[in-house]
């Protein structure tokens, strides 16, 4: 293991040193090249400026120009440290040099920059080169013209690149220092990494021990080397597999528990000794037990003889059974009970039993309501149909020859046909509102105006019985809802109030509006409703006074329609009544969204 660690350390440091060396020298070369470019551009610019000044001096002979070059302060100001100037004639011969030690009078025509100018170039340069002393120099040459535009000589500016040499030395020293520091840091990092790599096998051993103790959350996070990673990956695969299977089991248990908690069907699991192994909350609700009876006998849970008998028969006959059982304690309920036997493995465990309880009390009640509705509807329809049939037969038998009898019977037939039409329409309307098939057109409505409109509809009946119709409201009450449905609700309630109020009575509609709801009360001084009838007043075809309802043309469906319309509009209706004093129907509609009052 130590050999592997040392090899890794040497390899890491060697590669890092090689990389740093390459980067440093490349950067140094780029920096020197960029600096040299800047310096040579500056030399070219200075040489061009001085050459233009020297050209203006060519109005005499060469000696005069040389003397002027030496004495003009402007030229000296343009020169930088390390600069040297030289003048050559039109043939390329040196006539003046500020540094004779580096400028030779011979063979100047063959020098690169002079040669370029003699060939007609706008300027020439030597590039980075060395002088006689071995120093790096750069020379720039520009042609000189007199005032007539004739070529009269060459101006050359030479610059000793001592700053570039200094930059090379400084850069190299900095690079070496950086490389040394980088290598030291790399060695420290590599040593730290190798120390981390020296303990992975110990970590794997620890992880395997924790997995053996059923701690499946542990993972191996080692270096990516074949010798270690192969074993580490296998350990991780093992841990992942065990964790996945454990998580799957836990999720399955959670889903089963959640399903059991939310089921409306009661589920009980009994073992071979008929002891409760599992039960969901629905069972407690159905049988009326608040405490969990896990581990207890099934006799402590079930008090219904029918359920107990079904369980015993299932254990005895070894087959699934189903029955509809009446439970009388603690509440009267009708239960659909299924028992499912789970055969046990020989030598391991005995038979288990699942008991499924479904409360079908409401279903049976609704079935009875439907049956009663069909019976009542058939009875109500039979009356006008029988009348229509009887009077029509009488007329066909010869009674229509008597004009008086003919008119009387036709009026009765017309009345019964209207009653039949009204009954059929009410049945259809009730069916639609029950199934919420009534479209709602939401708009801002004035409840006061709707009440006055309903008063006008029943005004004739009210006048005949000298009944006073009154609207009591402190202000105009507004609401968002379906205007036609509000009219239907109010007209039914007001019509019933007038119908069941005797001569010279009162029917009053109270309207109130709070921050949360509107309240509508229809109060009459009629015959009242017996207390035993209050719970059934909204049932289909139910009438408190059957004779009065039929005489006034009622179908017995009005309040049922009102109840469903109020419910569909998120409202609530209640009734309060006393015999001989009168009844009060109260409807409350909460605000779904508020309106600004006008």
Question: Which of these, 202, 196, 168, 221, lies nearest to 35 by C-alpha position?
Answer: 168
Model confidence band, residue 163 (pLDDT cutoffs 50, 70, 90): low
Q: What is the pLDDT of residue 507?
A: 92
Q: What is the pLDDT of residue 596?
A: 41
Three-state SS string across 401-443, please? HCHHHHHHHHHHHHHHHHHHHHHHHHHHHHHHHHCCCCCCCEE
For the cut 50, the answer to whether the pLDDT of residue 594 exceeds it is: no
Model confidence band, residue 232 (pLDDT cutoffs 50, 70, 90): confident
Q: How far is CA 400 from the centre of its chain?
A: 77
Q: What is the pLDDT of residue 585?
A: 92
Over residues 100-112, the mean pLDDT reads 70
Instruction: Pick the more confident residue, 133 or 286.
Output: 286
DSSP 3-state of 382: helix
Model confidence band, residue 523 (pLDDT cutoffs 50, 70, 90): very high
Q: Which of 91-105, 352-366, 487-501, 544-558 has the lowest mean pLDDT?
A: 544-558
Q: Based on the number of CB atoms within 10 Å of its own CB, is 328 exposed (0-12), middle (13-18) or buried (19 or more)?
A: exposed
User: Over the stretch 503-521, which tens digit does the pLDDT of each residue have?
Assistant: 889 999 999 988 888 999 9
Share of the chain above pLDDT 70, in %: 73
Three-state SS string across 478-517, please? EEEEEHHHHHHHHHHHHHHHHHCCCCCCEEEEEEEECCCE
Pairwise CA distance, residues 503 & 519, whole Å: 28
User: Over the stretch 119-155, which tens digit does the pLDDT of each residue have?
Assistant: 888 888 878 777 777 777 888 888 888 777 778 788 8
For CA atoms 435, 437, 443, 447, give the dihedral sign.
negative
H-helix or E-strand spanning residue 261:
helix 226-262
Running DSSP on this structure, what letter comes out for residue 297? B
Running DSSP on this structure, what letter comes out for residue 139? E
Over residues 579-586, the mean pLDDT reads 89
What tokens appear for 386 in the block?
């029988």
Pairwise CA distance, residues 207 & 104, whole Å: 84
Over residues 46-54, the mean pLDDT reads 78
Please work out, in degrees rounded to the nearest 5, the angle formed at the alpha carbon of residue 449 by the alpha carbons of 443 and 450.
Answer: 70
Are the C-beta atoms of 376 and 349 separated by less than 8 Å?
A: no
Model confidence band, residue 556 (pLDDT cutoffs 50, 70, 90): low
Model confidence band, residue 421 (pLDDT cutoffs 50, 70, 90): low
CA torsion angle 559 560 563 568 (round to 10): -140
Are the C-beta atoms of 102 and 158 separated by less than 8 Å?
A: yes
Q: What is the pLDDT of residue 521?
A: 92
For the cut 60, the answer to whether the pLDDT of residue 430 exceeds it is: no
Does this model's pTM top 0.75? Answer: no
For the cut 60, the answer to whether the pLDDT of residue 1 exceeds it is: no
Q: What is the pLDDT of residue 427?
A: 61
- Print burial letters for 100-116: b (CB count within 10 Å at least 16), e (below 16): eebbeeeebeebebbeb
User: Per the omega criterion (within 30 degrees of 0), is the bond before 224 cis?
Assistant: no
DSSP 3-state of 290: coil
Q: What ranges make up the beta strands (E) of 146-240?
A: 151-160
For the cut 70, the answer to whether the pLDDT of residue 106 exceeds it is: no
Question: Which of these, 389, 405, 266, 374, lies nearest to 327 by C-alpha position?
Answer: 266
- Tokens 């407690």 — which residue? 284
H-helix or E-strand spanning residue 361:
helix 361-396
Over residues 155-181, the mean pLDDT reads 73
C-alpha dist (Å) from residue 595 to 512, 520, 598 = 15, 18, 9
Instruction: Pick the more confident residue, 295 or 348.
Output: 295
Model confidence band, residue 159 (pLDDT cutoffs 50, 70, 90): confident
For the cut 80, the answer to whether the pLDDT of residue 203 exceeds it is: no
Q: What is the pLDDT of residue 560?
A: 78
Q: What is the pLDDT of residue 595?
A: 41
């Amino acid at each position: 293991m130590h050999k592997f660690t040392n090899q890794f350390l040497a390899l890491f440091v060697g590669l890092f040193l090689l990389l740093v060396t390459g980067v440093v020298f490349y950067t140094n070369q780029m920096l020197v090249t960029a600096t040299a470019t800047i310096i040579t551009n500056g030399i070219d610019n200075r040489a061009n400026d001085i050459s233009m000044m020297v050209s203006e001096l060519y109005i005499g002979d060469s000696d005069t120009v040389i003397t002027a070059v030496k004495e003009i302060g402007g030229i000296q100001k343009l020169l930088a440290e390390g600069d040297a100037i030289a003048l050559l004639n039109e043939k390329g011969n040196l006539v003046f040099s500020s540094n004779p030690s580096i400028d030779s009078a011979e063979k100047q025509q063959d020098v690169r920059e002079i040669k370029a100018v003699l060939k007609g170039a706008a300027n020439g340069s030597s590039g980075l080169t060395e002088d006689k002393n071995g120093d790096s120099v750069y020379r720039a040459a520009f042609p000189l013209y007199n005032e007539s535009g004739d070529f009269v000589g060459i101006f050359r500016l030479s610059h000793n690149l001592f700053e570039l040499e200094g930059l090379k030395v400084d850069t190299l020293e900095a690079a070496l220092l950086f490389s040394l520091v980088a290598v030291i840091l790399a060695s420290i990092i590599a040593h730290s990494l190798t120390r981390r790599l020296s303990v992975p096998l110990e970590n794997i051993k620890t992880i395997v021990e924790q997995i053996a103790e059923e701690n499946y959350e542990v993972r191996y996070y080692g270096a990516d080397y074949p010798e270690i990673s192969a074993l580490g990956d296998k350990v991780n695969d093992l841990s992942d597999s065990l964790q996945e299977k454990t998580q799957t089991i836990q999720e399955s248990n959670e889903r089963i528990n959640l399903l059991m908690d939310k089921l409306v069907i009661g589920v009980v699991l009994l073992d071979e000794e008929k002891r409760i192994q599992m039960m969901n909350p629905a069972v407690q609700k159905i049988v009326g037990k608040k405490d969990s009876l896990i581990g207890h006998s099934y006799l402590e849970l079930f008090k219904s003889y029918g359920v107990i008998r079904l369980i015993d028969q299932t254990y005895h006959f070894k087959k699934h059974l189903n029955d509809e059982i009446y439970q009388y304690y603690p509440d009267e309920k009708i239960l659909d009970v299924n028992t499912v036997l789970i055969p046990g493995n020989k030598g391991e465990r005995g038979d288990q039993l699942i008991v499924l309880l479904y409360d079908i009390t409401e279903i049976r009640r609704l079935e009875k309501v439907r049956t009663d509705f069909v019976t009542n509807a058939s009875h109500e329809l039979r009356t006008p149909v029988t009348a229509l049939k009887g009077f029509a037969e009488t007329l066909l038998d010869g009674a229509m020859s008597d004009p008086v009898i003919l008119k009387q019977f036709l009026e009765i037939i017309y009345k019964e046909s209207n009653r039949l039409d009204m009954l059929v329409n009410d049945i259809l309307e009730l069916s639609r509102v029950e199934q919420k098939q009534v479209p709602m057109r939401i708009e801002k409505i004035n409840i006061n105006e709707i009440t006055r409109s309903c008063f006008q509809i029943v005004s004739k009946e009210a006048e005949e019985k000298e009944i006073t119709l009154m609207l009591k409201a402190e202000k105009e009450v507004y609401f968002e809802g379906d205007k036609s449905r509000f009219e239907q609700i109010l007209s039914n309630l007001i019509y019933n109030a007038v119908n069941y109020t005797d001569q010279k009575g009162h029917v009053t509609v109270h309207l109130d509006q709070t921050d949360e709801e509107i309240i509508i009360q229809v109060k009459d001084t009629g015959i009242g409703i017996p207390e035993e009838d209050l719970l059934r007043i909204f049932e289909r075809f139910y009438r408190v006074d059957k004779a009065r309802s039929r005489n006034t043309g009622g179908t017995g469906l009005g309040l049922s329609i009102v109840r469903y319309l109020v419910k569909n509009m998120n409202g609530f209706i209640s009734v309060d009544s006393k015999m001989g004093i009168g009844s009060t129907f109260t409807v409350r509609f909460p605000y779904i969204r508020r309106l600004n009052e006008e």
